[in-house]
Amino acid sequence: MRTLALDIGNTAVKAGCFDGTTLCEMTAGLTASQVLAVVQRWQPQHVIIASVAEDAALRAEELRGVVPGEILSFSPATTAIPLRNAYATPHTLGADRLAAAVGAAGLRPGQPTLIVDAGTALKMDLITADGTYHGGSIGPGLNMRFRALHTFTGRLPLLELPRGNATIPLTGDSTTSSLLSGVVNGAVAEITGFIAQYQQLYPGVGVLLTGGDAAFLAARLPARIFVVPELVLLGLNRILAYHVVK
């Protein structure tokens, strides 16, 4: 069964083309017209749409008549999922957070898992061994930290995240290197501290790293953290299968 998962985030639209449970293609940074082109080329039987930036139902309407089967607009508050959701306010829960949790539970069934999503925001989410999503934390992402330091001060420059394996000094000897140390090393220390606390509470907890800045952070974080860039898309496809596969 050919399916398509669309993840509409704050800064990019990602598409995952699936054949059953196999992710055959993943594309990011799509415009509305490019999404339609992917649909026409892949010709999925069913589509799932999750959005934190716009009304998913509006995007679904664009695909009516193009997709022969179900077009599922994923809502954390109303869409049934193969996971128990213990979040107290599901109507305020980001679709990407819950979809990532479903993806993580599929990759690590019966095991406690912490998701670190390093995107526009830095999010951490917990799934316990009994298949329950509990929520977690939301903080500013790396680029948001750079922008905040520039916006809310008088003279600090606006920096961008360095590319590749750039060395980030612990002790900055200039304003630029001090900003890099504060943002990057601060975020790494934050993530590492959260992981340590979860490891104390849930022995054997596994850590999955996803999001746009995952590759940058991976080399700076402790070993045994698995990078899964496609985690949200995997979760969305699993939710779609839960609805259309009988």
- Show which residues are catalytic: 96
Question: Which letter, b or e, does each residue of 197-232 get, where b requires 16 or more Cβ atoms within 10 Å of its Cβ?
Answer: ebeeebeebbbbbbbbbbebbeeebeeebebbbbbb
Contacts of 151 (CB under 8 A, 6+ apart): none
154: which DSSP letter?
A: S
The type of residue at 41 is R
User: What are the residues facing 64 on neighbouring strands?
Assistant: 67
Question: Is 25 within 8 Å of 17 (Cβ atoms)?
Answer: yes
Contacts of 177 (CB under 8 A, 6+ apart): 169
